[in-house]
Amino acid sequence: MKINGTPYRTIWPTSDNAAVEIIDQTRLPHVFATLRLDTMRDAERAIKDMQVRGAPLIGVTAAYGVALAMRELASDAALANACKVLLAARPTAVNLRWGVEKMRVLLAPLPEDERVAAAWKEAARIADEDVAINAAIGRHGSDIIRAIHQKKGGTVNVLTHCNAGWLATVDWGTALAPIYTAFDAGIPLHVWVDETRPRNQGASLTAWELGQHGVPHTVIVDNAGGHLMQHGMVDMAIVGCDRVTARGDVCNKIGTYLKALAAHDNGVPFYVALPTPTIDWTLQDGVKEIPIEERAAEEVTHIAGLCDDGQVRTVQVTPQGSRAANYGFDVTPARLVSGLITERGVVKADSGAMRVLK
Ligand code: MRU
């Protein structure tokens, strides 16, 4: 995607494969800054602190994290340690496990002196694969948007939650890929962007990306979606996900479940876009089995924003002493999902239909 006319990915190796650069997402939308990761611990920190976030990008960053570790030391112990450290960085996105496992399986049988080159090559391949997958998701998902446009005749209003755009992947995004593809094809559309408290990935990242691409959008508070749906102002919802179980339960950013309930009650199609590596074939019941990340209370009690003097500052919004709980994700049962938009096509969220994706 382009930023002020310059094409960017969210992560890329330096030309000598000595380090990795990322876009620091904690500073958007007010400051566009890139950051250099020199060590595996830098990659771990970038994932933990959400300088990179979004399931596919977390997976790719972890793969590069293993490559960075191999540059430091390519022993069996160093490989095992890198995999362990990176796997523990964030719990919910299964892509993290997928990326680390791909690296471990490739590197473990190799002699130590071949590991560095092989690691950088594999991490780059995983990154390129993510881009190709998301472009395919865009094509399949845009067919749905086109069909709604043809039936309705006017602007298609799409609601999305959190950020599952190109910033959450290497490029294109998952939930936003169909939107970019449809928009580029000339289909009139408008996006309702859930702000997505507490970290505001919608208000700060999705709105920024859509703005950079020129896609008409409106930011809404998280609780507005149900009202809009009741008044016929949403034609479809598309969200991303961090993990999908073998029977189609979807784990995504906290608040997704409530949007799915509202969509169900109002007959609004609710789609989930995902690359197939986001499917965790080892799990069935998402509510019972998916570990949900709990993050620092400060993300709820405090909020950051641009002040009139041009400085970004953090302020407290809760009374001193009130406790806050910060659950990062929730699970939407498969029965509330109209379809899974994958790189291999749109599939029903149930174990029978999903078997073709294995
Ligand atoms: O906590 P985050 O910002 O990493 O959460 C991101 C989401 O919930 C996304 O919807 C999901 O990872 C899919 S990204 C293509």
> Which of 42, 130, 171, 242 is an active site residue?
242
User: Average pLDDT in the 166-195 region?
Assistant: 98
Q: Tell which phi-psi region holds residue 321, choosing left (phi > 0), alpha (psi between -120 and 50) or beta.
A: left
Q: 157: pLDDT confidence band, cut at 50, 70 and 90?
A: very high
Q: Is 241 in the pocket of ligand 1 (CB under 6 A)?
A: yes
Q: What is the bridge-based pairing of β-strands 236-239 and 243-245? A: unpaired
Q: What is the bridge-based pairing of β-strands 312-316 and 279-280? A: unpaired
Span 202-224, pLDDT tens digits = 999 999 999 999 999 999 999 99
CA of 117 to the centre of ligand 1 (A): 30
CATH of domain 2-129: 1.20.120.420
Top mutation candidate among 90, 162, 180, 194 for ligand 1, by most atoms within 8 Å of CB:
162
Q: What is the pLDDT of residue 1?
A: 84
Top mutation candidate among 252, 280, 329, 341 for ligand 1, by most atoms within 8 Å of CB:
252
Burial of 106 (0-12, 13-18, 19+ CB in 10 A): middle
Cross-strand partners of 250: 244, 332
d(CA 42, CA 52): 11
Contacts of 112 (CB under 8 A, 6+ apart): 74, 75
d(CA 318, CA 297): 11
CA of 92 to the centre of ligand 1 (A): 10
Mean pLDDT of the chain: 97
Top mutation candidate among 200, 242, 243, 256 for ligand 1, by most atoms within 8 Å of CB:
242
Could you tell me the two tokens for 166? 């190109």
User: Average pLDDT in the 149-157 region?
Assistant: 97
User: Average pLDDT in the 109-126 region?
Assistant: 98
Span 92-116, pLDDT tens digits = 889 999 999 999 999 999 999 999 9
User: Average pLDDT in the 236-245 region?
Assistant: 98
Query: Among the atoms of ligand 1, which is closest to the Cα of residue 329?
Result: 8
Q: Against a cut of 0.85, is the pTM above it?
A: yes
Q: Is 169 in the pocket of ligand 1 (CB under 6 A)?
A: yes
CA of 239 to the centre of ligand 1 (A): 9
Q: Is 201 in the pocket of ligand 1 (CB under 6 A)?
A: yes
Contacts 24+ apart (CB under 8 A), 305-314: 306/30, 312/27, 312/30, 312/31
Verify whether residue 128 is a known catalytic residue: no
Q: What is the pLDDT of residue 5?
A: 85
Q: What is the pLDDT of residue 4?
A: 86
**Burial letters for 299-316: b for 16+ Cβ neighbours within 10 Å, e otherwise?**
bbbebbeeeeeeeeeeee
d(CA 23, CA 29): 11
Q: Is 160 in the pocket of ligand 1 (CB under 6 A)?
A: no
Is the pLDDT at 270 greater than 90, yes or no? yes
CATH of domain 142-357: 3.40.50.10470
Q: Is 252 in the pocket of ligand 1 (CB under 6 A)?
A: yes
Ranges of each domain in the chain: 2-129, 142-357
Q: Is 123 in the pocket of ligand 1 (CB under 6 A)?
A: no
Decide which of 92 and 82 is more confident.
Answer: 82
Q: Is-contact 177 215, C-beta < 8 A? A: no
Is the pLDDT at 91 greater than 90, yes or no? no
Span 311-349, pLDDT tens digits = 999 999 999 999 999 999 999 999 999 999 999 999 999
Match 């209370």 to its residue by tokens. 297
CA of 275 to the centre of ligand 1 (A): 13
Q: Is-contact 282 249, C-beta < 8 A? A: no
For the chain, percent of residues with pLDDT exceeding 70: 100
User: Average pLDDT in the 159-163 region?
Assistant: 98
CA of 163 to the centre of ligand 1 (A): 6
CA of 251 to the centre of ligand 1 (A): 10
Closest residue CA from atom 8 of ligand 1: 253
d(CA 47, CA 29): 19
Contacts of 49 (CB under 8 A, 6+ apart): 26
